[in-house]
Amino acid sequence: MKAGRWISLVAGAVVWASSAVGPGGGRALAEAGGHDDCRCSPDSVFATGLTNPRHIRVGPDGLLYVAEAGIGGSQPASPGCEFVNAFTPYFGGLTGRVSRVHRDGSVETVAEGIASFLDGTGEVLGTSDVAWIGRTLYVLTEGGGCTRGLPDAPSGILRVNRDRSLTYVADISAFIRANPVAVQPECGPAGDCEPDGTPHSMIAVGPYLYVVEANHNSILRVDPRTGQIRRLHDLSALDPPQDRAPIGIVRKGDSALIGTFHGDVLEMSLFGGPVTALHSGYDAIVDLAFFRGRLHLLETFTLADPWVENAGRVVRRNRDGSSTPIVTGLNVPIGLAEWRGDLYVSQNSYFQGPVEGTGEIVKVRCHGPR
């Protein structure tokens, strides 16, 4: 797979998620051991009814938020923006949203009408992450732009206003078009290029938003006050040149750790300096989180047997440098977060097609010393 697109396959190769997961996915989940005198196991399906859920984050109100990619729409590529890759044609719509999950597992929509598109294999890209500066909520979408039939709703960052209206603060589609990387993704029937970009994950540090853009192997810094976008790192230009496929991001002090779809963890300073390789040898990393002082990685499947359902797992990196899977059997997960002393994972996050309500958040409870 060309991981710069990361979530879709060549038409005809998609393996759709099935009912083998059971209602809530519980039968597929398993305890996978622990380390450092701590054991973890899936406790319950905590929230249901989500639509292609992506990253999950804890808000300043102490509640859990989830980016839902939506189901795309019916708008074809805008005139002059038609192109071909392995996943076209695209059909866009404003079906993405952000939901807040309360402590009882009930779900409340806090922002909707966000760019989303359905591709020719039946997959959806749309709302992908959220972050806060102070108490202001910002939303990242990778589902907009004229190639998706949404010229007035680009891929980028939106601010959620007090009345829950949305205001664009950064047009990442325009930036990607105007600022090519050293090794551009290929278009054509076998290509995975995304001219409007796929900004997939985001964190807030100080007044800035740091964005991982997967298709163009980029780490961006956005100032939402001015809309200014700066490419901090072009990972395609690293030696040797390759599609590194950055996906997830988590803060670690003055640095950020970036997980890649090829199973590597990179580290970069938030205040300048190069990107360095930190850890390797993992599987398809889609998110990272710190829990009880240890780095945890969410793998959506194994690279040896990709695109298999119920193959996701959470892996803990131990103090001695070894790694231990703590939960296995997750069905196509994407989001990982620590909340109220437990881990939470979004699953049924893709391979669902344009179908509403199949996504879930699973609670993982760990026992033992903190």
pLDDT of residue 34: 46
> What CA–CA distance (Å, rounded) separates 76 from 135?
36
- Compute how many other C-beta atoms are within 10 angstroms of the C-beta atom of residue 64: 25
Q: What is the pTM of this model?
A: 0.91
C-alpha–C-alpha distance, residues 155 and 116, integer Å: 9
Q: Do the beta carbons of residue 354 and residue 27 sit within 8 Å?
A: no
CB 199 within 8 A of CB 170: no
Q: Which residues pair with 245 in a beta bridge?
A: none
Candidates 6, 2, 13, 8; CA nearest to 123 is 8
- C-alpha separations of 112 from 61, 67, 68, 108 in Å: 19, 10, 9, 11
Q: Residue 37: phi, psi to the nearest 5? A: 60, 30
199-213 tens-digit pLDDT: 999 999 999 999 999
CA distance linking residue 21 with residue 27, whole number of Å:
6
CA of 13: how far to CAs of 185, 186, 203, 308, in Å?
21, 20, 33, 11
How confident is the model over 325-370, as pLDDT tens digits? 999 999 999 999 999 999 999 999 998 989 999 999 999 988 765 5
The answer to whether the peptide bond before residue 154 is cis (omega within 30 degrees of 0) is no
- What pLDDT digit, counting tens, does each position of 165-192 carry? 999 999 999 999 999 999 999 999 999 9
CATH topology of domain 19-367: Neuraminidase (2.120.10)
pLDDT of residue 243: 75
Among 12-21, 28-37, 133-142, 299-308, which is the least confidently predicted range? 12-21
pLDDT at 39: 73
Strands 294-299 and 208-213: unpaired
pLDDT, position 242:
66
For residue 36, what pLDDT band results from cuts at 50, 70 and 90?
low
Which of 57, 100, 50 shows the shortest CA–CA distance to 336? 57
- Residue 85 CB neighbours (<10 A): 24
Q: What is the pLDDT of residue 258?
A: 97
The first and second tokens of residue 19, run together, are 């009912």
**Side-chain half-sphere CA neighbours of 342 within 13 A:** 19
Query: How large a percentage of the chain has pLDDT more than 70?
Result: 88
For residue 286, the model assigns a pLDDT of: 97
- Of residues 2 and 235, the one with the higher pLDDT is 235
Distance from chain centroid for Cα 214: 10
Model confidence at 273, pLDDT cuts 50, 70, 90, reads confident
